[in-house]
Amino acid sequence: MTNHISPKSRIFRLLFFLSLSPFGFAQEIIQQDVTPDVIAKLQEYTRNYYERRGVPGLSFALSKDGNTLLQEVKGYSDVENQLAVQPNSLFRIASISKLITSVAVLKLAQDGIVNLDEDIKKYLPYLTKLNNKVTLRSILSHTSGLRAYRSGEFNSTKKYWATKELMDYLKDDTLEHKPGTKYLYSTLAYNYAVAAIESATGKTFDQILGEKIFLPAGMSNTFLDEQEKIIPLRARGYIRNDLRQLNNAPLADLSIKYPGGGMISTAGDLLKLGNALIDETLLTNVWLDTLTKPVRLADGTFAQYGLGISIETDSKGRKIISHSGGGTGFVSLLQMYPAEKLVTVHLLNIADRNSGSPARDLSRIFLGDTTIVPLKPTADTLMSVYLSSGIQEAVKTYGAIKGSPSMNFNPDPEEYKQFGYDLIKISKIADAITIFNDMLRDNPQNKSAYIGLGDAYSKDSNTGLAIKSYRQALRLDPNNKYVQSRLSVLEKKK
């Protein structure tokens, strides 16, 4: 007997199997004076996020008034060896390292050992190429004028065995602009701050962190991410390739940026850091205010950044201080509501466009601001369908997704456009053109679809159709700088 299955049923069945996660999970919950309904919502969000976003592993945590209410770990810290994430799994925290470094510097300033507004050449006289006054305050606030990464430095594989060795590499750099006039985010600049405090104290950075931060805050699971060392429970990092398949992240030695992006930690330790700041264990109220005061530039404008920390106000007027991190194979966020004494953390061992901001979502759910439902990434699902069944099946699948909100896919048309660009990346130009034309059938005034066609034809060296498509886009959006630039280049070639 033949079993007949309709095309729509095949699509739904394929989507069902794609939504199943291969990873196991573990969780730890500590409930304190909070309604079970709130905890249930946080758990549901975490479960949906894990099952739908396709992350290898995660560690989420939330505390209120110093009490840990949620600590969830799911997935794998090491996919190849099927090692589950544990509460003490160590994730690369990337730029959250800046906050830890800044607090260490401020602790030393609080103790009178360094001066935030002293010329850094007082501590590092060999910096003869710095022809303006650079201070610890300007370094920590990214207003020093010291440069950002150059090519190859973000994923550097060179080992620097000591701060002085690294400073020998950096010491001849000149300033990009006069200190205090611009905000220029610089991870490398934090090395200057560490060189200064090592000079002032006669101690290593590691020793300073232990004495000034980790010991008083009770942080026993935070370390420099030293590539050559055997560090138990260190998670591996991942990325997705152009086919949206999971790959190991590139190799990187973080000794070029320990202070600004080279530490590993746990969600539990970062909760301790957040609470130690809020309850003034690490800094007095005056120095916490110094840490979290937005930096003012020479022209009178303010950056939404203090000394190693971001500052914002939510829609209800509540102050939020935080720092995010995006490293090689990892993303992270530590977020604090100081007045509410609420701290949330997310750690993910993948750097990818689908990460979102789980720590922010957890805070908003806990505060009752909104209901947040993590959705499956449509573009990634379409690529999986495409690789197994071709372009027409992918188009049909998108139609099914659009018509079925209960399937919990991201309905944003930008996801369909992203799929088109994913096809361009893997040089499937004809199929990318099919997607952008399908977008135009839905909406003939879709400027993004015309830009996509222009980019696809341009990649295929079809200059005439690329120009035609870009001109259509410019008709709909006359001030689009990208389209203007592309047309200028192509029309010169014609």
How confident is the model over 229-249, as pLDDT tens digits? 999 999 999 999 999 999 999
Identify whether the C-beta of residue 270 lies closer than 8 Å to the C-beta of residue 93.
Answer: yes
The sheet carrying 223-224 orders its strands as: 91-92, 263-265, 223-224
Q: Which of 333, 377, 374 is nearest to 354 (CA)?
A: 377
Q: Which of 358, 361, 316, 366 is nearest to 341 (CA)?
A: 366
What pLDDT was estimated at residue 33?
59
User: 299-333 pLDDT, tens per residue?
Assistant: 999 999 999 999 999 999 999 999 999 999 999 99
Instruction: Give the residue-averaged pLDDT of 479-488.
Output: 96
Report the b/e string of 442-471 with b at 16+ CB within 10 A: eeeebbbbbbbbbbbbbebebeeebbebbe
What pLDDT was estimated at residue 354?
95
**9/29 Cα distance (integer angstroms):** 39
Report the b/e string of 17-42 with b at 16+ CB within 10 A: eeeeeebebeeeeeeeebeeebbebb
DSSP 235: P
**320/334 Cα distance (integer angstroms):** 11
Query: What pTM value is reported for the model?
Result: 0.91
For the domain 96-366, what is the CATH superfamily, name and number?
Answer: DD-peptidase/beta-lactamase superfamily (3.40.710.10)
Percent of the chain exceeding pLDDT 70 equals 93
Class of domain 378-493: mainly alpha
CA 312 vs CA 112, 258, 394: distances in Å = 29, 26, 41
Question: Is residue 1 scored above 60 in pLDDT?
Answer: no
Domain boundaries, the chain: 96-366, 378-493
What pLDDT was estimated at residue 247?
98
Domain 96-366 and domain 378-493 have a common topology: no
